[in-house]
Amino acid sequence: MTDPARDIVVMESIDKSFPGVQALKQVSLTLAGGEIHALVGENGAGKSTLIKVLTGVERPDGGTITLDGAEVSIRSPLHAQSLGISTVYQEVNLCPNLTVAENLLIGRQPMKLGHVDWNAMNRQAREILQGLDIEIDVTRPLGSYSIAIQQMAAIARALVISSAKVLVLDEPTSSLTGHETDQLFRVMRKLKGEGIAILFITHFLDQVYEVSDRVTILRNGALVGVYETAVLPRLTLITLMLGRSLTELDDINQHKIESSQHIGTEPLLQADGVGLVGSIAPFDLVLHTGEVVGLAGLLGSGRTEMAQLLFGIDQPTEGSLTMDGKRVRNFSPIGSIERGVALCPEDRKAEGIVADLTVRENIIMAMQASRGWFRHLSTSDQYAIADKYIKLLSIATPSADQPVRNLSGGNQQKVILARWLATNPRLLILDEPTRGIDVGTKADIQKLVLSLAEEGKSCIFISSELEEVLRTSHRVVVMRDRAKVTEFAGEVDERAIMNAIAGGEA
Amino acid sequence: MSALRSVFSRSRLRESRLSVPILALAVILLFDFVFVPGFFNLEIRDGHLFGSLVDILRNSTPTVALAIGMTLVIATGGVDLSVGAIMAIAASVACILIDPRIVGLNLQGDITAVVGDPTYSFVPIPIVIVASLAVAVVCGLWNGVLVSFGRIQPMVATLILMIAGRGIAQLITNSIKIIIFNDSFAFIGNGFIVLPFSLFIVVALFAGAWLLTRRTAIGLFVESVGISFRASLYSGINEKRIKLFAYAFCGFCAGVAALIAVSSIRTSDANQIGLYTELDAILAVVIGGTVLGAGGRFSLLGSLIGALVIQATQTSMYAIGVAASAITAVKAVMVIVVILLYSQQVQDLGRRIAGRLARRQAAA
Ligand SMILES: Nc1ncnc2c1ncn2[C@@H]1O[C@H](COP(=O)(O)OP(=O)(O)OP(=O)(O)O)[C@@H](O)[C@H]1O
Ligand SMILES: [Mg+2]
């Protein structure tokens, strides 16, 4: 399997530091042709940085990269591409205004008589996507499709490069559904069969075991080791990644049972037939103090729409919403914040982070918004708040003054969570709060949610991972086709929920 | 070398933003030192400080005032093309309030025949000032409403007033150039308290703007709206109100610039006052390191230095005898240089060259 003769990429003793952070210390990585190689580690461990070094986005401070036996110095992403290294980055990097076909083929459009041959281009794009089992209208703008489809388009684009010897995927599955992930894995296995080396970053350990041959583990910017996936026990993998064993999961269940004793009897929030034409069908929902309600459903089932309605991003066209027994009239984010409602949005890049602002400014933003323009938080208060949450959520950053853009994906997610915890909400709506978060922190966040519930706060927990929803929620609401279909309370039967999600009328 | 590297170091982006305008100012002053004899001479006459440097400061005051307001607008991701036209409107309002007599007469030809009394003003001067500023703020609010509630592209929205504004200014004075004889009003642009009085006004405006943005949450919200208005919206920031504020404040600054300009030339000339100053203001902000089109992080101090750079260039060009018409070309070159200095590619290149030189030095 790891015959050194077939090693395509050998990275040796790579060092890379940013001001205040040593992101990589003497890290080595080998990729063999025809293997799927997983790269795992906590948030901020240096995974994305390592692949940025491989793909020419960042230049290493030290170390060597050998490609097909010859030492290379990779100057730029374009240069990496010409060497046969294609990449799909953590954040989708395509142009939402261009059509799908243009996004796939830009730079290598088929030409006819000096003009772009649009028909040929659309046909080619359709064929490429069909290779991935995706049937969509390639002449529509990419932005009109879901993040999942956009992600698949980014992968397709990386594959278009015919001479690809190495395919690098940075958390490609974080916003894909189970079915889409299966599609992707099928494509990955096909490419592996063709002798391509695939490097695959993920926080889903199931996927590591499902698809990878070997796994490289990073911790704190250093190499822990390389292992054959098949013979590495899962608990060992977690311990190697985190540097500690993960016992919290059992605690969480206990925690949940205990916290369910404290659920209040008076409703905190009550929705009666609240709906928005064209977005979500009217639904009823009651939420008590100290209660965690999970929203389960497929991508596009209306979970996010419900969250946005409850937070006042959108105004309902029918029904009534009451909080503390008073009818809600001011549907706006600021109105919600004043009522004590917070929403940690799903789309981190567009709706969450303000990339150029510092960690501190990002954390205090919502709190400052609720205080208005003139009751300014003093700088020392701002640092106190930021430092508190950096510690509480173990956000990996050299200081509170780091622009949030420089944080690793998972740590950016934690900053958004901190922004909302800082407003001290009574109802916290979390839309995919653990996307891109490592297993250790994921458990921490789940615990945090339950502790908040014990303090009498309520939470709506949205996640595509049913397991996580079940672990944290006292009650589960199932959404399908932009409508609430049913609710499960008490001891929940996982199979019944899966059926409800999929729409199988059992 | 280390200076070069600090200009190009990404981690010190905020400081490096200031280093570009400071560097530019230093280059121009060095040029003057070499080519313009006596450029740095200062003398005190009648208790007033005189010299080219004082002239630069004094002549830059309207641009500095405009640049302060423009900084906030550009930081929200917009631009205000109408500041020159707002200046014309505010100037006309000031003049008509000081001396409305000749407008009704509809005099033809030589209006200098009406000789004025240096104490005459139709309404008290403080009211003249407040009224002109208020009108300028209303103009700014109009832009702000179009941009934030009308969702019109800032360029297009402010173009409306840019084109219509001078016509409105003409209407106010019935197309007559009103000459101001009132000395206390003229003190705004011509007076001296050792240094030109307009300097004190602009310093106060700068301090006010700094306090208003950095000692309240407004600065943070302006930057956040400029960087990502959706993320700001989700965080409870009223993005529309922030934009409205930025344009209104920009209008206010244009009003201040108008008062300085009209009181120093003592004539309401709707076709000339503030002509093309919007371009100087935008250029000053861009030199100062606030990114046109993208918005986000802004630097009031950078814009202030940017305005000085423009005025210093202009004065130096006059001093060495460059024709007024050629100065536009000089400014065009400045635009190109500034854009290059701030571009990522050039910064990367600079960093690479600096790194290579440093390595060579280390090896030697
Ligand atoms: N441009 C940058 N400037 C400064 N620090 C950076 C920069 N890019 C990354 N870092 C830092 O380097 C470290 C490694 O980041 P990296 O993005 O590689 O983590 P990761 O393993 O991909 O994490 P995640 O799972 O959260 O995506 C982090 O501490 C991050 O803050
Ligand atoms: Mg990453």
Q: What are the CA-CA distances from residue B294 to residues A92, A426, B160, B289 (Å)?
A: 20, 36, 22, 12
Give residue A343's pLDDT band: very low, low, confident or very high (50, 70, 90).
very high
Distance separating alpha carbons of residues B66 and B285, to the nearest angstrom: 10
> Where in the sequence is the domain holding A447, given as residue range(s)?
245-340+427-506
DSSP line for A224-264: EEEEEGGGS-HHHHHHHHHSS---HHHHHHHHHHHHGGG--
Q: At what angle do helices B239-265 and B218-227 cross, to 10 degrees?
A: 110
Q: For chain B, which residues make up each domain, given as ranges?
A: 2-363
Tokens in use for A477?
């609401």
Give residue B7's pLDDT band: very low, low, confident or very high (50, 70, 90).
very low
Q: Looking at the domain assignment, is residue A361 inside a domain?
A: yes
DSSP line for A167-182: EEEESTTTT--HHHHH
pLDDT at B78 over 70: yes
Pick the CATH number of B2-363 from 1.10.10, 1.10.260, 1.10.357, 1.10.3470: 1.10.3470
Answer with the residue of higher pLDDT: A189 or B109.
Answer: A189
Asked whether residue A198 falls in the same domain as residue A313, the answer is: no
- Please state which of the ranges A39-53, A90-104, A198-212, B299-313 shows the lowest mean pLDDT: A90-104
Q: Which residues surround ligand 2, an ion (CB under 5 A)?
A: A 48, 90, 408-409
pLDDT at A501 over 80: yes
Last residue of a domain, one of A364, A394, A424: A424
- pLDDT value at position B357? 78
Q: Decide if A336 and B217 are in contact by the 8 Å CB cutoff.
A: no
Parallel/antiparallel/unpaired status of strands A7-18 and A21-32: antiparallel
Q: Does the beta carbon of B218 lie under 8 angstroms from any beta carbon of chain A?
A: yes
- pLDDT value at position B75? 96
Asked whether residue A410 falls in the same domain as residue A496, the answer is: no
CATH number at residue A135: 3.40.50.300
Last residue of a domain, one of A242, A261, A281: A242
Distance separating alpha carbons of residues A267 and A291, to the nearest angstrom: 10
Asked whether residue A407 falls in the same domain as residue A322, the answer is: no
Q: Using one digit for the tens of pLDDT, what is the confidence trace for B307-354?
A: 999 999 998 888 888 888 888 888 888 888 887 877 777 777 777 777
Helices (H), B1-106: 2-8, 13-35, 52-75, 83-98, 101-105
- pLDDT value at position B256? 98
Cα-to-chain-centroid distance, residue B307 = 7
C-beta separation of B14 from B22 below 8 A? no
Q: Is the CB of A56 under 6 A from ligand 1?
A: no
Q: What is the mean pLDDT of residues B5-26?
A: 63
- pLDDT value at position B114? 53
Asked whether residue A326 falls in the same domain as residue A442, the answer is: yes
Q: Looking at the domain assignment, is residue A130 inside a domain?
A: yes
Tokens in use for A77?
């992403």
Asked whether residue A231 falls in the same domain as residue A356, the answer is: no
- pLDDT value at position B115? 58
Looking at every residue in chain B, the average pLDDT score rounds to 87
Q: Percentage of chain B with pLDDT > 90?
A: 58
Q: Where do we find the tokens 């420089």?
A: A406
Q: Using one digit for the tens of pLDDT, what is the confidence trace for A367-377?
A: 999 999 999 99
Cα-to-chain-centroid distance, residue A475 = 24
Q: Using one digit for the tens of pLDDT, what is the confidence trace for A111-166?
A: 777 788 888 888 988 888 887 777 888 889 988 887 667 877 887 888 776 577 89
Cα(A449) to centroid(ligand 2), Å:
24
Q: What is the mean pLDDT of residues A306-324?
A: 93
Q: What is the mean pLDDT of residues A328-337?
A: 94
Q: Is the CB of A434 under 6 A from ligand 1?
A: no
Give residue B102's pLDDT band: very low, low, confident or very high (50, 70, 90).
low
- Please state which of the ranges A91-105, A197-211, B44-58, B337-351 shows the lowest mean pLDDT: B337-351
- pLDDT value at position A278? 87
Asked whether residue A332 falls in the same domain as residue A355, the answer is: no
Which of B225, B230, B235 is the mutation pick for testing A, counting most A CBs within 10 A? B235
Asked whether residue A497 falls in the same domain as residue A463, the answer is: yes
Give B-chain residues touching A18 at CB under 8 angstroms: 11
Distance separating alpha carbons of residues B130 and B148, to the nearest angstrom: 26
Asked whether residue A186 falls in the same domain as residue A45, the answer is: yes
Structurally, chain A folds into a number of domains equal to: 3
ipTM of the complex: 0.87
Q: Looking at the domain assignment, is residue A207 inside a domain?
A: yes
- pLDDT value at position B10? 39
- pLDDT value at position A154? 83
Give residue B11's pLDDT band: very low, low, confident or very high (50, 70, 90).
very low
Distance separating alpha carbons of residues B175 and B106, to the nearest angstrom: 9
pLDDT at A390 over 90: yes
Distance separating alpha carbons of residues B5 and B12, to the nearest angstrom: 10
Q: Is the CB of A44 under 6 A from ligand 1?
A: yes
Asked whether residue A380 falls in the same domain as residue A504, the answer is: no
Q: Decide if B231 and A18 are in contact by the 8 Å CB cutoff.
A: no
pLDDT at B144 over 80: yes
SS3 content of chain A, % helix, strand, coil (to 5): 40, 25, 35
Give the ligand 1 atom nearest the CA of A218. Answer: 21
Q: Decide if B227 and A18 are in contact by the 8 Å CB cutoff.
A: no
Q: Which of A172, A367, A456 is nearest to B221 (CA)?
A: A367
pLDDT at B224 over 90: yes
Q: Is the CB of A406 under 6 A from ligand 1?
A: yes
Indicate the SS3 state at residue B168.
Answer: helix
Last residue of a domain, one of A226, A242, A258: A242
Q: Using one digit for the tens of pLDDT, what is the confidence trace for A38-89?
A: 999 999 999 999 999 999 999 999 999 999 999 999 988 888 988 989 888 7
Looking at every residue in chain A, the average pLDDT score rounds to 88
Answer with the residue of higher pLDDT: A329 or A264.
Answer: A329
Tokens in use for A343?
């929403």
C-beta separation of A358 from A395 below 8 A? no
pLDDT at B217 over 70: yes
Q: Using one digit for the tens of pLDDT, what is the confidence trace for A469-496?
A: 998 999 999 999 899 999 998 777 888 8
SS3 content of chain B, % helix, strand, coil (to 5): 70, 5, 25
- pLDDT value at position B5? 42
Asked whether residue A74 falls in the same domain as residue A167, the answer is: yes
Q: What is the mean pLDDT of residues A277-302?
A: 91
At a CB cut-off of 8 Å and minimum separation 6, what does B59 contact?
A: B311, B314, B315
Q: Which of A195, A170, A222, A182 is nearest to A38 (CA)?
A: A170
Say what the pTM is: 0.87
- pLDDT value at position A255? 77
Asked whether residue A292 falls in the same domain as residue A329, the answer is: yes
- pLDDT value at position B257? 98
Distance separating alpha carbons of residues B353 and B364, to the nearest angstrom: 16
- Please state which of the ranges A429-433, B152-156, B293-297 shows the lowest mean pLDDT: B293-297
Q: Looking at the domain assignment, is residue A41 inside a domain?
A: yes
Give A-chain residues touching B234 at CB under 8 angstroms: 313, 333, 343, 345, 351-352
Nearest CA to ligand 1 atom 27: A409
Give A-chain residues touching B232 at CB under 8 angstroms: 354, 365
Asked whether residue A443 falls in the same domain as residue A321, the answer is: yes
Q: Is the CB of A414 under 6 A from ligand 1?
A: no
Q: Looking at the domain assignment, is residue A345 inside a domain?
A: no
Helices (H), A55-116: 77-82, 100-105
pLDDT at B253 over 50: yes
Instruction: Please state the φ and ψ torsions of residue B53, each to the nearest 5 degrees.
Output: -65, -40
Start-to-end CA distance of chain A, whole Å, equals: 45
